[in-house]
Amino acid sequence: MSEGVVHIIDDDAAMRDSLGFLLQVNRIPYRLFESAVAFLQDLPEDGGCVLTDVRMPEMNGIEMVRQLKERGYRAPVIVMTGHADVPLAIEAMKAGVVDFIEKPFDEELLLSAIQTALQQGKAQSEQDAALSETRKRIAALSPREGEVLGGLVEGKANKVIAYDLGISPRTVEIYRANLMTKMQARSLSELVRMALSVREPG
């Protein structure tokens, strides 16, 4: 079973049709795009993965990968490349693609790479959804609950948080219990992990 849609990008119509047929036979959902520009103009929100040629007019596969990264699009990308394009494919790997497949390719090898990328894409989508939900829960906290959460994330004891905020330790305990409920955290470590997950890196 597939875990999302494969977005196929190739300026060669015969190659697009051939890839589409291969995926159809294997019951993997797909969409076809004739150029990187067309894909960027109709950027899907669903997960899945991207399968793209490297050499294309207007915009090549590597430029597209860089554009996707700038836009925060996180679905895994596989690039297809001719023998002469291997240095380009290596450059694409450095730009963030998960795999490259040399043409002419073995169908089983390609299908294996696609399934791996789809699984990665599904995991990424689930992670993004969890992160979004955590952000919503934090946004719904009262200012005081946010302050108590900040103290817990810094590893402070209830007494220290109480002193810092000018409230009683018992009141901190109540806020802490409310935080566990609102954040749907099963333990203090999970609560702290959730709070840290939404902080911007650096």
Q: Which two tokens stand for residue 197?
A: 């997950």
Whether residues 85 and 183 share a domain: the answer is no
Q: What is the pLDDT of residues 135-169, one digit of tens each?
A: 999 999 999 999 999 999 999 999 999 999 999 99
Residue 135 lies in a domain: no
Scanning the structure block, which residue is given the tokens 């790997």? 93
Whether residues 16 and 78 share a domain: the answer is yes
Residue 117 has pLDDT above 50, yes or no: yes
Lowest mean pLDDT among 12-26, 119-133, 174-188: 119-133
Q: Which two tokens stand for residue 177?
A: 């219990």
Whether residues 122 and 144 share a domain: the answer is no
Residue 28 lies in a domain: yes
Q: What is the pLDDT of residues 33-84, one digit of tens each?
A: 999 999 999 887 767 899 998 888 888 888 898 888 888 888 899 988 876 6
Whether residues 83 and 19 share a domain: the answer is yes
- Let me know: does 97 contact 65? Beta carbons within 8 Å: yes
Domain boundary among 91, 126, 161: 126
What pLDDT score does 2 carry?
A: 47
Q: What is the pLDDT of residues 78-110, one digit of tens each?
A: 988 876 667 777 777 787 788 888 888 888 999
- Structural domain harbouring 185: 140-197
Stretch 178-195: mean pLDDT:
92
Residue 121 has pLDDT above 90, yes or no: no
Whether residues 15 and 89 share a domain: the answer is yes
Assign residue 146 the CATH number of its domain. Answer: 1.10.10.10
What pLDDT score does 201 carry?
A: 54
3-class secondary structure, 12 = coil
Whether residues 121 and 144 share a domain: the answer is no
Whether residues 28 and 108 share a domain: the answer is yes
